[in-house]
């Protein structure tokens, strides 16, 4: 909301910090990676932030991520690029939980956001900051959902966008990206190959690189998943969060959110255990977690139906692993068969259409519940990060001839 200072409001950003070395970088100018080549994290004057805003004031604001604007980096209200972000629901599935032997299971359904995925949160912030910093052209490699959000928010902001996605990304999303104004190219490779194209072309094309964690603000948008979840649970955190992990922005962002909320006294000591879920056909984080190492080796021949988590090499690997370990969580891989079975079960039994990546969290939760890595009394939240409607669904073959007599008893 504009205030007395001509549309500026308090953001409390003090500086950006290299996530690996802690080196300070100046705020309010365009940045990619830190000088050490690692992701930059936005830092705030949390003491001032905590004095300036309280939970009651936030509660009176309209739903959506801008209600948490003091926790975000955009300084001028006119630079908030919005497509009507909502508060995504936390949906209990008690019948399903009971059947699999759990007391409580909650699904945070991010598929309700503009462009149908949680990528809207990250790109809403990245594009708003790009607007604020005068960026004219953005480019991105994508598994699909992030590209759709980039295209939509850039068109909304009047910024040009160039998007590169693997040839086998879901067709609807490919069309959506192009239709929403991006210059889209299908690439005969994986997301890392698309990333190389962006990296190599950015100088010639004057692109601002919006790749996962290669700019500092997508993570700030994804952070709002954690703030919103805590608010929805009465400024409490759940016991455990299952997150479908590709580049890891959401997991890292939520972990950052909980730390910032605790620093201003809005959360107590308790943190959720963070569980990074990957597909067994592309599980570099799980392999690194199991090997007890800090960095993940790139995964060869990555393949899974859950395209959003088909990320062979993540630049924020050490941040994902750090959050998982600090939280007392774990990393777990599930195969495509289990992912598709979990997706079908949830659709059939509860009417919730998860995306394959979201279904991976359900498959992982079931395994972890069965082998004791989570207990039945732990309050678990699974993240469904996109609507299942954008992905291929099983074909339907049952047909009726409306001109012939119908044998109703046989239906």
Ligand X SMILES: Cc1ncc(COP(=O)(O)O)c(C=O)c1O
Residue numbers of the site for ligand X (CB under 6 A)?
A: 117, 143, 145-146, 212, 244-250, 308-309, 355, 357, 385-386
CA–CA distance, 216 with 315 (Å, rounded to integer): 13
111 three-state secondary structure: helix
The CB-of-118 to ligand X minimum distance in angstroms stands at 7
Contact 130, 206 (CB under 8 A): no
34 or 343: whose CB is closer to ligand X?
343
The token pair that represents 9 in the structure block = 């409001």
Nearest approach, Cβ of residue 396 and ligand X (Å)? 24
Residue with tokens 């009507």: 84
Residues contacting 82, CB < 8 A, separation 6+: 64, 66, 124, 156
CA dist 81 and 132 (Å) reads: 10
Angle at Cα 95 formed by Cα 91 and Cα 101, nearest 5°? Answer: 110
Choice between 155 and 304, CB closer to ligand X = 304
Instruction: Indicate the residue among 46 and 219 with the shorter CB distance to ligand X.
Output: 219
Q: Write down the least CB distance from residue 397 to ligand X, Å.
A: 28
Closest CB 310 distance from ligand X, rounded Å: 9
One DSSP character per residue, 233-259 reads TTS---SEEEEE-SS-HHHHHHHHHHH
Dist CA 245 CA 252 (whole Å)? 10
Question: Minimal distance in Å, beta carbon 222 to ligand X?
Answer: 6
The single-letter DSSP state of residue 28 is S
Q: Which residue number places its CB atom closest to ligand X?
A: 308
Closest CA to 246 of 367, 386, 152: 386
Collapsing DSSP to helix, strand or coil, 264 comes out as coil
Asked whether the CA dihedral 358, 285, 314, 64 is positive or negative, the reply is positive
Q: State how far the alpha carbon of 164 is from the alpha carbons of 125, 360, 371, in Å.
A: 20, 25, 40
Closest contact distance (angstroms) between CB of 152 and ligand X is 14
Nearer to ligand X among residue 53 and residue 152 (C-beta): 152
Q: Is 281 helix (H, G, I), strand (E, B) or coil?
A: coil
With respect to ligand X, which residue has the nearer C-beta, 27 or 283?
Answer: 283
Q: Smallest distance, Å, CB 266 to ligand X?
A: 23
Alpha helix positions (H), 162-278: 171-179, 191-205, 218-232, 249-263
Q: Least CB distance from residue 394 to ligand X, whole Å?
A: 19
The nearer residue to ligand X, 353 or 355, going by C-beta atoms, is 355
Q: Give the other-Cβ count within 10 Å of 295's Cβ.
A: 11
Q: Which is nearer to ligand X, 150 or 159 (CB)?
A: 150
Q: Which of 157/309 has CB closer to ligand X?
A: 309
Considering the complex, what minimum distance in angstroms separates the CB of residue 52 from ligand X? 29
Identify which of residues 11 and 173 has a Cβ nearer to ligand X in the complex: 173
């Amino acid at each position: 909301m504009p205030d007395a200072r001509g549309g500026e409001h308090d953001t409390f950003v003090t500086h950006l910090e290299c996530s690996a070395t802690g080196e300070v970088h100046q705020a309010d100018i365009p940045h990619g990676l830190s000088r050490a080549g690692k992701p930059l994290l936005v830092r705030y004057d949390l003491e001032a932030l905590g004095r300036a805003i309280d939970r009651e004031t936030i509660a009176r604001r309209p739903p959506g991520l801008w209600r948490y604007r003091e926790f975000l980096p955009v300084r001028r209200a006119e630079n908030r690029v919005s497509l009507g972000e909502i508060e995504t629901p936390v949906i209990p599935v008690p019948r399903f939980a009971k059947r699999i032997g759990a007391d409580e299971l909650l699904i945070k359904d991010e598929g309700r956001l503009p462009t149908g995925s949680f990528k809207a949160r990250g790109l809403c912030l990245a594009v708003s900051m790009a607007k604020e910093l005068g960026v004219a052209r953005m480019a991105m490699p994508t598994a699909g959902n992030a590209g759709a959000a980039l295209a939509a928010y850039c068109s909304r902001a009047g910024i040009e966008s160039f998007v590169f996605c693997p040839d086998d990304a879901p067709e609807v999303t490919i069309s959506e990206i192009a239709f929403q104004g991006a210059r889209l190219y299908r690439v005969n490779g994986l997301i890392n190959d698309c990333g190389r194209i962006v990296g190599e072309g950015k100088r010639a094309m004057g692109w601002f690189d919006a790749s996962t964690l290669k700019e500092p603000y997508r993570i700030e948008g994804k952070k709002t998943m954690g703030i919103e979840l805590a608010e929805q649970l009465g400024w409490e955190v759940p016991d455990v969060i299952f997150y479908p992990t590709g580049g890891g922005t959401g997991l890292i962002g939520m972990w950052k959110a909980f730390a910032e909320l605790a620093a201003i006294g809005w959360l107590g000591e308790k943190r959720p255990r963070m569980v990074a879920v990957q597909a067994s056909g592309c599980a570099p984080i799980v392999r690194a977690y199991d090997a007890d190492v800090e960095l993940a080796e790139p995964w060869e021949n990555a393949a899974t139906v859950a395209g959003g988590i088909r990320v062979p090499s993540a630049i924020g690997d050490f941040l994902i692993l750090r959050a998982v370990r600090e939280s007392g969580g774990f990393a777990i891989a599930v195969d495509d068969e289990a992912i598709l079975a979990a997706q079908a079960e949830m659709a059939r039994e509860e009417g919730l259409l998860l995306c394959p990546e979201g279904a991976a969290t359900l498959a992982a939760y079931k395994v972890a519940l069965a082998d004791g890595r989570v207990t039945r009394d732990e309050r678990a939240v699974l993240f469904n990060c996109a609507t299942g409607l954008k992905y291929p669904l099983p074909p339907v073959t049952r047909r009726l001839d409306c001109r012939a007599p119908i044998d109703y008893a046989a239906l």
